[in-house]
A and B are shown apart, each in its own frame.
Chain A
Amino acid sequence: MPDFKRPHALTDVYLHYCPGCTHGIVHRLVAEVIDEMEIEGDTIGVCPVGCSVMAYDYFNCDMMEASHGRAPAVATGIKRANPDKFVFTYQGDGDLAAIGTAETVHAATRGENITVIFINNTTYGMTGGQMAPTTLPGQITQTTPYGRNTDIEGFPVKMCEMLSQLDGVALAQRVTVIDPANIRKAKAAIRKGFEYQKNKQGFSIIEVLSTCPTNWGMTPVQAVERLKNDMMTYYPLGVYKDGAVRNKEGA
């Protein structure tokens, strides 16, 4: 049996997330991958605006805070100047799929050698639970008090499906962290994203279906059930695209 302890790439700072919020699990998985690949000293993380806005305090690698939605552009700037370093962004659904859609799509289609960790919890958590681009039809939020009406608010954005159509994307995979088996798969996907980056083989996005117990108005355990029953049917888990877009030399 292996010991289980805090990865080095995660700082000692107490996370500010609400009880049961799965952000913390995903933070730990990213940190474990950084530890296992021994790349903490060569990694620069970019955090978004949203609940994970203070993630720069949680990772021991160098960190940059981006403005809302611009993390993929910021990451592009870092990576182009430092092509041999590892650069990841950590973004929520409002950041990545609403205000930052253009930056996401274009970093992806350029095949930027960065890894994007995308937290989809179907709501704007930090501001108190408004409708996100990923809010499910019928879902009640602060700004859809009668439920998301697709005649008025339109339909949710399916990022992995969309991005899988782009030639610059090496990996587009949707995972979740609701139980240990899925956590293992999520970590393997994150690892794969960093490996593609290591070999300069294209853009990778790992979409993580996550819970927001506070803004969903549920206990953490109920939130896991809601994710399983409602979210996973609308957003099926799986690999939407997988394959290097460049050879190992980055040609």
Chain B
Amino acid sequence: MAEKSLMKGNEALAEAALRAGCKCFFGYPITPQTEIAAYLSKRMPKVGGVFLQAESEVAAINMVYGCAGSGIRCMTSSSSPGISLKSEGISYIAGADLPCVIIDVMRGGPGLGGIQPSQADYYQITKGVGHGDYHIIVLAPSTVQEMADCVTKAFDLADKYRMPAVVLADGLLGQMMEPVAFDDAEIVMSDASEKPWAANGHGNKRKHNIINSLYLQAPELEQTIRDRYERYKKIEAEETRAVADYCDDAEIVVVAYGSTARLAKSAVDEARKQGIKAGVFRPVTLYPFPVKELNEAVKSAKKVLTVEMSMGQMVDDVKLAINCSRPVEFFGRTGGVIPAPNEILTKIKEMIGGNE
């Protein structure tokens, strides 16, 4: 690892994407992720990559479709309203089994909403981005270093499973500055050499490759989807990641992801000082959801509290994951309002008190 430098979350993510061999970036300006595009517009031409500002979010994700279909590592980034626009393209990318990375630096919604941090895209990203039966991998960083690490991991997982991977951040992480270190290795742009399925010209050496999501015969489409779900099973078994702090003896476990997990951690630190046996559990992968890890973390807990910057979305997955074995309560702020650690602590105390 090289020396650490102080960077914004968005810029760290962009630099890490380059270092992961992301040859092409296609994007459209939207707050609060614009630094990613601005950074790559400077860096890409210097390292033999492609930066292209598209005419729309829709065009950008379809450029990603084309580029990914030709076997080249590529990425787009946006924020909530832009992701809504990209959802059609994401569905096609998933339906054609193409690997790519999509960044969502979430802001408040619905509609234009606001430009302050939010986590109200949880449903959209993990459940409903685009039409059809499919999943996409979702990674949720909570530090600037993790913004970088998650994008690297996202490229690897996308290629390994031939599917889109999303880094789900929020305006807070994107704008925040922290020390970050990168691998020293030389930047090598990706090629299609390990992607025999790529449509990049058959060179008269093989049969033509077709990138497609159309299946007019229903049984054929069903089988294709079933095969894809077999892959998802493997992902759910092998790729979950989470971080648990103080959960071993915790009577109450706070579940939070992304920047909210940092606030939850502050609240739990304070609770511990005050003698409350609280723990904090942070899913890093939102799809696949870390079901096994969460059940492990809540073993000694009597109650579970989910904290989000939304009206409560991940809380559904928390309930499902532990099969409602314990009461799950929710605390959240939304619309761009960031929950304060003391608000979370108050909620923890209220729940503990209610238990007595």
Contacts and interface: CB of A to CB of B under 8 A. Distances in A.
A74 B63 contact: yes
B67 A65 contact: no
B89 A62 contact: no
Contacts of A43: 201
21 contacts: A40-B204, A41-B202, A44-B199, A59-B208, A62-B200, A62-B202, A67-B62, A67-B88, A70-B62, A74-B62, A74-B63, A77-B26, A80-B50, A80-B67, A81-B66, A81-B72, A81-B74, A82-B200, A102-B55, A103-B59, A106-B55
B69 A74 contact: yes
A103 B54 CA distance: 9
Most B CB contacts (10 A, CB to CB) among A56, A67, A85 go to A67
Contact of A78 (B66, B208, B210): B66
Contact of B211 (A59, A63, A80): A63
Contacts of B26: 77
A70 B58 contact: yes
A105 B72 CA distance: 25
A74 to B, nearest CB: 4
B78 interface: no
Contact of A65 (B63, B96, B201, B202): B96
Given A40-B204, A85-B200, A102-B59, A74 B212 contact: no
Interface in B208-263: 208-214
A73 B52 contact: no
Interface of B: 23-24, 26, 50, 52, 54-56, 58-60, 62-70, 72, 74, 88-89, 92, 96, 199-205, 208-214
Nearest to A43: B201
Given A64-B212, A65-B211, A41 B24 contact: no
Contacts of B89: 67, 70
Contacts of B211: 63-65
Given A73-B62, A102-B55, 6 more contacts: A41-B205, A43-B201, A56-B212, A63-B209, A77-B26, A78-B70
Nearest to B69: A64
B199 A81 contact: no
Contact of B201 (A41, A57, A66): A41
A66 B26 CA distance: 17
Contacts of A86: 201
B160 to A, nearest CB: 20
Nearest to A39: B201
Contacts of A62: 199-202, 208-210
Contacts of B54: 73, 106
Contacts of B74: 77, 81
Shortest 3 CB-CB contacts between residues of A and residues of B: A77-B66, A77-B63, A73-B62
Nearest to A40: B204
A63 B208 contact: yes
A61 interface: yes
B52 A81 contact: no
Given A73-B66, A76-B52, A78-B69, A67 B202 contact: no
Most A CB contacts (10 A, CB to CB) among B59, B96, B203 go to B59
Contacts of B63: 73-74, 76-77, 80
Given A40-B204, A76-B52, A81-B23, A56 B210 contact: yes
A46 interface: yes
Contacts of B212: 56, 63-65
A86 B214 CA distance: 24
Contacts of B205: 41
Given A73-B58, A77-B64, A80-B24, A65 B210 contact: yes
A61 B52 CA distance: 26
B203 A41 contact: yes
A77 B59 CA distance: 9
Given A62-B209, A64-B212, A80 B201 contact: no
Interface in A75-119: 75-82, 85-86, 102-103, 105-106
A25 interface: no
Contact of A75 (B55, B66, B92, B213): B66
A65 B214 CA distance: 8
A46 B58 CA distance: 17
Most A CB contacts (10 A, CB to CB) among B65, B208, B211, B214 go to B208
A65 B66 contact: no
B203 A42 contact: yes
B201 A70 contact: no
Given A65-B213, A65-B214, A102 B56 contact: yes
Nearest to B73: A81
